[in-house]
Amino acid sequence: MEQPAKQRIDKWLFFARVIKSRTLAGKFVSAGNVRVNREKVDQASVLIKPDDVLTITMERRILVLKILGCGNRRGPAPEAQLLYEDITPKSTEASKTETVAAEREPGSGRPTKRDRRKIDQFRNPDSDG
């Protein structure tokens, strides 16, 4: 079966396994979280083609994907990865901040009120308290 020359953006996001369902993909695009070639898109019916660049704003990261082809179905992940090339800049991936939980003695139980005050003071040194 031959690949279509153009495809709806919600369908492509679903086929490329960027979004879990086509309905969610439509809502995601309508919310203004996707740009096609730096142009903000707010309709799920926008047609995309190979060599377009999508900038996708997810909850905790930004993806930049170059479209290599249009899909015919939502197949397995290796098949979906053939539809795009990830050109996300490395600087955004390196700037991810990993939160490390404060270490406590095993078996020491929950923090006391005094411990919580120290934690609050550490998190917000500007506040009076």
pLDDT at 106: 81
Beta strand 47-48 with 7-8: parallel, antiparallel or unpaired? antiparallel
Picking from 77, 33, 35, the residue whose alpha carbon sits closest to that of residue 57 is: 33
Rounded to an integer, the average pLDDT of 71-75 is 93
Is the per-residue pLDDT at 78 higher than 80? yes
Lookup: tokens for 73: 């179905």
Q: Check residues 122 and 46 and name the one with the higher pLDDT.
A: 46
Domains of the chain: 1-129 (3.10.290.10)
Q: Using one digit for the tens of pLDDT, what is the confidence trace for 84-119? A: 999 999 864 445 556 666 677 888 888 889 988 988
Give the pTM: 0.70
Please give the pLDDT value at position 107: 80
Minimal CA–CA distance to 69: which of 86, 90, 85? Answer: 85
- Distance, in Å, from the CA atom of 116 to the CA atom of 69, rounded to the nearest integer, reads 53
Task: Give the chain as a 3 state SS string.
Answer: CCCCCCEEHHHHHHHCCCCCCHHHHHHHHHCCCEEECCEEECCCCCEECCCCEEEEECCCCEEEEEECCCCCCCCCHHHHHHHEEECCCHHHHHCCCCCCCCCCCCCCCCCCHHHHHHHHHHHCCCCCC
21-51 per-position pLDDT tens digit: 999 999 999 999 999 999 999 999 999 999 9
